[in-house]
Amino acid sequence: MDHKFPYKWYLKDGYPESNGLKVFGTFVCGGGSTMGYKLAGFDHLGGVEIDKEVAAVYQKNHKPKHFYNLDIRDFNKLDNLSDELFDLDLLDGSPPCSTFSMAGSREKAWNKKKKFREGQSEQTLDDLVFVYLDTIKRLKPKVVLLENVKGLMQGNAKGYLKEIHKRFTDTGYRVQVFLLNASKMGVPQRRERVFVIGLRDDFKLSKLVLNFNEKPILFGEICDNSDKTESNEPVQRRLWNAQKIEDKGLCDVSNRVDNKNNFFSHRLLFKNKVMPTITAHSCAQHWLKDTPRHPNNIELKLAGSYPLDYDFINTKQGYLIGMSVPPVMTAQIANQINLQWLSKI
């Protein structure tokens, strides 16, 4: 089965012909979603990104028409925005989500300021969803999209999701919530994400239907078999050497060999399975099941459906890919939004 949007591609080959639809992004990071919209034919006008280093990568690869290296709170206060931003077909946003992740501190981190990474301004993260809603209220695009982690639908975070739904409604949008898995959308990665997608009330169209069931892409299909590098962290390498067939990660080995529940995020990559979620830091922790090394940059770009010639400048590739929505995942959603909604407006 051919995939609608190939996960192996190059920026130098260009994007498909424009469909004339305009999209703008918030929390654009390195440009994962941006590339997805472009792959689906949208004109991506630019975005908002607080991180200076990441913003430099974005600008280098995308040369955006409108770009703001700002905290979104400051963007919302600007009074000189282009008229073009008030005539959007779609507004996209992926607010930082670590405080909702089931793997993080969750409730303990809510309402507390932190630096998302070195060099950034201190900010609270769990309220950024509502700050993004302020952006929506101001710009009033036809369609809005909010992406976040699966943890937003779990535990006490479900209360946040209900409030998000209410505020979307109060802002004038009919919203739907989708839990989508990138591995069913032509991405070589098991990445589950929540998408809240809303249509402005003045457009009376049927509900959006998102059913993706593309053939899974196994890690063996993207594995760089020419890479004979070996990783030599002493403790992790000792555990890797002691693994058994049934072990799925170094945590399993640690429990058996050392009677310790350590290395929870150090997964083993099987060639006959889809690669697990790439997070900002897990790329340096995962180990190949049959080779004592971490996934390399080629494998990470393929698993993240990033173009193989993307210029990361000095930013760690795994970090940026782990922080991004895979371009192909966004392209699939954007294509359906166009077919089912925007093409009918």
pLDDT for residue 115: 58
pLDDT for residue 3: 77
pLDDT at 91 over 50: yes
- The rounded distance, in Å, linking the Cα atoms of 98 and 279 is 10
pLDDT at 102 over 90: no
Q: pLDDT-based confidence at 2, cuts 50/70/90?
A: low
Residue 288 phi/psi, 5° resolution? -65, 140
Coil, helix or strand for 287?
strand
The average confidence (pLDDT) of the chain is: 91
Contacts of 234 (CB under 8 A, 6+ apart): none
Which among 97, 223, 251, 283 is annotated as catalytic?
97
- The rounded distance, in Å, linking the Cα atoms of 325 and 323 is 7
The dihedral region occupied by 136, where left means phi > 0, alpha psi between -120 and 50, and beta the remainder, is alpha
Q: pLDDT-based confidence at 105, cuts 50/70/90?
A: very low
> In the numeric block, which tokens belong to residue 218?
């196994």
pLDDT for residue 60: 98
Least confident among 26-30, 66-70, 148-152, 185-189:
148-152
pTM for the full model? Answer: 0.92
Give the angle subtended at the CA of 160 by the CAs of 324 and 326, to the nearest 5°: 15
- The rounded distance, in Å, linking the Cα atoms of 188 and 16 is 22
pLDDT for residue 101: 41
Does the annotation count 97 as an active-site position?
yes
Task: Label residue 200 exposed, middle or buried (CB < 10 Å: 0-12, 13-18, 19+).
Answer: middle
User: Which residue did the predictor score with more confidence, 154 or 342?
Assistant: 342
Give tens-digit pLDDT for 171-216: 999 999 999 999 999 999 999 999 999 999 999 999 999 999 999 9
- The rounded distance, in Å, linking the Cα atoms of 173 and 171 is 6
Instruction: Enumerate the CATH 3.40.50.150 domain ranges in the chain, comma separated.
Output: 11-214+325-344
pLDDT for residue 280: 87
pLDDT for residue 126: 65
- The rounded distance, in Å, linking the Cα atoms of 160 and 152 is 7
> In the numeric block, which tokens belong to residue 286?
């995962």
Q: Classify domain 11-214+325-344 at the CATH class level.
A: alpha beta
Least confident among 94-103, 312-321, 324-333:
94-103
Query: Mean pLDDT throughout 143-163?
Result: 87
Give tens-digit pLDDT for 33-70: 999 999 999 999 999 999 999 999 999 999 999 999 99
pLDDT for residue 271: 98
The pairing of beta strand 143-149 with beta strand 90-93:
parallel
pLDDT at 124 over 70: no
